[in-house]
Amino acid sequence: MRKVPATAFQKGQIAHNRGLRHEAKLRGDTHYFTGIPCKNGHIEKRLVSSGSCMECIRLKASQLRAKRSPEKLAKEREYSRNNAAKWRKNNPDHENTKIAKKQWKKAHPEQVYAATAKRRAAKLQRTPSWLNAGHWLEIDSIYELCNAWRSIGFDYHVDHIVPLQGNSVSGMHIPWNLQIISAKENLSKANRV
């Protein structure tokens, strides 16, 4: 995120900030945006509940994660595994979700087409015109390699390192922004860097 020092003019807009937060609260929103830097200089969305900057929250959480001891990390992983096993036991039909998703896609083709078109448009908008034949050859070879690995049984995806439709940043469809990773890793990554 871009850090900008708070100016006297921006400090004078605190009352305006409170108004935006109050309006967001009335609408039932969870976040609001002022365009004014927080006390640490981040220009970012803020939580309606506390008024805290999202970048400050992320930084604080990463600092807390870094301070955890290996014993505590192992304990948290075990707790998470136990919860996952309990959930699978209580939801035996979760294996049928793929079937349910296929049925939903058949029943709602217009929504599936709209989502596909949106993804295709985002990819086109983020493909620069200055790519040359060598770049296109490199992109094609990455996809061909991924398909070759998939054909022999490996479950891999071509992933954009910086996502095309990220929440805080949007990448480009260029060779050095592509990587081949496991499908599980790609799906868990979603649109995060």
Residues 17 and 45 in one domain: yes
Residues 135 and 170 in one domain: yes
pLDDT > 80? residue 56 = yes
pLDDT > 70? residue 120 = yes
Residues 80 and 133 in one domain: no
In a domain, 155, yes or no: yes
Q: What is d(CA 57, CA 110) in angstroms, rounded to the nearest whole number? A: 38
Give the end of a domain, one of 67, 84, 113.
67
- Determine which of 45-49, 59-63, 169-173, 176-180 has the lowest per-residue pLDDT on average: 169-173
Residues 80 and 141 in one domain: no
Encode burial over 13-31: b for 16+ CB neighbours within 10 A, e otherwise: beeebeebbeebeeeeeee
pLDDT > 70? residue 12 = no
Q: Tell me the pLDDT of the chain averaged across its residues.
A: 83
Q: What is the pLDDT of residue 2?
A: 47
Q: What is d(CA 118, CA 126) in angstroms, rounded to the nearest whole number? A: 12
H or E segment to which residue 121 belongs = helix 109-125
In a domain, 107, yes or no: no
Encode burial over 98-124: b for 16+ CB neighbours within 10 A, e otherwise: eeeeeeeeeeeeeeeeeeeeeeeeeee
Q: What is the pLDDT of residue 107?
A: 93
In a domain, 120, yes or no: no
Q: What is the pLDDT of residue 83?
A: 93
In a domain, 92, yes or no: yes
Task: Identify any residues that bridge with 42 across adjacent strands, giving them in sequence order.
Answer: 3
pLDDT > 70? residue 161 = yes
- Determine which of 1-10, 17-26, 50-59, 176-185 has the lowest per-residue pLDDT on average: 1-10
Q: What is d(CA 67, CA 7) in angstroms, rounded to the nearest whole number? A: 34
pLDDT > 50? residue 26 = yes
Rg (CA), the chain: 22
Counting the structural domains of the chain, the total is 3
Residues 63-101 pLDDT 10s: 888 888 888 888 988 999 999 888 888 877 776 777 888
Q: What is the pLDDT of residue 8?
A: 38
Give the end of a domain, one of 81, 99, 117.
99
In a domain, 51, yes or no: yes
Residues 189 and 141 in one domain: yes
Q: Which residue type occupies 128?
A: P
**Contact (CB, 8 A) for 177 and 171:** yes
Give the end of a domain, one of 67, 89, 114.
67
pLDDT > 50? residue 5 = no
Mean pLDDT of 92-118: 85
Residues 62 and 79 in one domain: no
Note down the domain range covering 137: 128-193
